Structure 1
């Protein structure tokens, strides 16, 4: 049977992969964006997700895990590959980037919700940290959806 620390480490490692995928995706979006508003937005999200990843790494270390080798996951890599293809086929890079952002944020929120729902073994401190990060991702989603409406 899996002990509480092991389960918590696995949950945090999963969220770390998601944050790292977000960092990579937003870096790519910022690099490919032509408008300063979009470049700034995506860069802000790189900074946000890097901060989230660092918080998760610290918690993983406190639980006795090794977070230094955690990079993005396969699903995130495939999502970025699909987005690259769409960039090449589209003349509206910002629209494609916003679509990818919205899809990624929805998936991240779902993963955070799953951990929060299944995380009965998480400490109060960890639950609060995960909830705060989830809320930040939701704010990013709302902003991306607002921009999509403005620029569509």
Structure 2
């Protein structure tokens, strides 16, 4: 595998791991909250994260690599913290707040990969193409968090 393909694989696999964290976190949150609208939202966004991971995984395979099949330690810690936070207070708001932070993390990683001159063009192209979808998910969770904060 060429150095460019290795860098592409590494960059995309980092994004896959973070998106996988988000998918797993959304799936768990959908099981834990009582609000029907939040369950539906979390389920939908878990599907978006799965689609992003799958698309990035296809690009990793095309570059000759093996797609990441697990999340990150930071993602696991965030999920544990969210469970604790939800258990101590407003469960719905706790999950929304933590999921919004998870979206911040994914958006930041995508922006960095899209703007990093060391990111190979093939990786930058797919990241740039997926960035609006990542931004839209972030905005949905940010808006939901702010609306819940104002209503409290």
**Is the TM value for this pair above 0.5?**
yes
- Contact persistence 2:29–2:42 (CA under 8 A): yes
Listed as ranges, the gaps of 5+ residues in structure 2 are none
- Indicate the residue corresponding to 1:17 in structure 2: 17
- Indicate the residue corresponding to 2:138 in structure 1: 141
Q: Matches of 1:63 and 1:75 in 2, distance apart? A: 27
The 3 A distance-change label for structure 1 pair 119 and 25 is farther
CA shift at 1:18, angstroms? 0.7
Q: Matches of 1:98 and 1:109 in 2, distance apart? A: 16
CA shift at 1:120, angstroms? 4.6
Q: TM-score, normalised by structure 2?
A: 0.90
Q: Matches of 2:57 and 2:85 in 1, distance apart? A: 32
Q: Does 1:40 align with 2:37?
A: no
- Indicate the residue corresponding to 1:117 in structure 2: 115
- Indicate the residue corresponding to 1:72 in structure 2: 71
CA shift at 1:111, angstroms? 0.7
CA shift at 1:33, angstroms? 1.3
> Of 110, 127, 133, which residue of structure 2 is paired with 1:130?
127
Q: Matches of 1:121 and 1:21 in 2, distance apart? A: 22
CA shift at 1:119, angstroms? 4.8
Q: Does 1:59 align with 2:59?
A: yes
Listed as ranges, the gaps of 5+ residues in structure 1 are none
- Indicate the residue corresponding to 2:28 in structure 1: 28
Please provide the CA RMSD for this pair: 1.6
Q: Matches of 1:38 and 1:119 in 2, distance apart? A: 38
Question: Where do 4+ consecutive residues of structure 1 move more than 4 Å?
Answer: none
- Indicate the residue corresponding to 1:100 in structure 2: 98
CA shift at 1:32, angstroms? 0.8
